[in-house]
Amino acid sequence: NAGVTQTPKFRVLKTGQSMTLLCAQDMNHEYMYWYRQDPGMGLRLIHYSVGEGTTAKGEVPDGYNVSRLKKQNFLLGLESAAPSQTSVYFCASRLQGNQPQHFGDGTRLSIL
């Protein structure tokens, strides 16, 4: 009963390095989302996807790219990491509109 799985759980990067965060869901959900959580800021939407091969910008998309090549996977990329991207990243999925999201347990990312 995996649900939404995020990989890795923790990562430390140096400024300028690149990395990809992986989100995988096994519920056959159409919609997938990436959020970041910062102290006092709540959950802010980075990018989202309403189906395989589609992506759209959220509230704070700058500095990130995403891809949804397979329905079950949603990748979040940082091409050149900056200290301002230090955060906890959450992935979520849902079956369709007007349905609740299911969240992963997060990836804690530190950029030095």
Partner 1 sequence: DQQVKQNSPSLSVQEGRISILNCDYTNSMFDYFLWYKKYPAEGPTFLISISSIKDKNEDGRFTVFLNKSAKHLSLHIVPSQPGDSAVYFCAASDNRDDKIIFGKGTRLHILP
Query: Which residues make up the interface to partner 1 (CB under 8 A)?
Result: 4, 31, 33, 35, 40-45, 48, 50, 56, 58-59, 90, 92, 97-98, 100-106
- Please report how close the Cβ of residue 72 comes to partner 1 at its closest, in angstroms: 17
Q: How far, in Å, CA of 56 to CA of 92, rounded?
A: 15
- Please report how close the Cβ of residue 91 comes to partner 1 at its closest, in angstroms: 8
Residues 83 and 95 sit within 8 Å (Cβ to Cβ): no
Q: How far, in Å, CA of 80 to CA of 65, rounded?
A: 11
Beta carbon nearer to partner 1, 14 or 39: 39
- Please report how close the Cβ of residue 15 comes to partner 1 at its closest, in angstroms: 26
Burial class (CB in 10 A: 0-12, 13-18, 19+), 45: middle
Beta carbon nearer to partner 1, 78 or 107: 107
Beta carbon nearer to partner 1, 35 or 74: 35
Q: How far, in Å, CA of 61 to CA of 37, rounded?
A: 14
Beta carbon nearer to partner 1, 79 or 105: 105
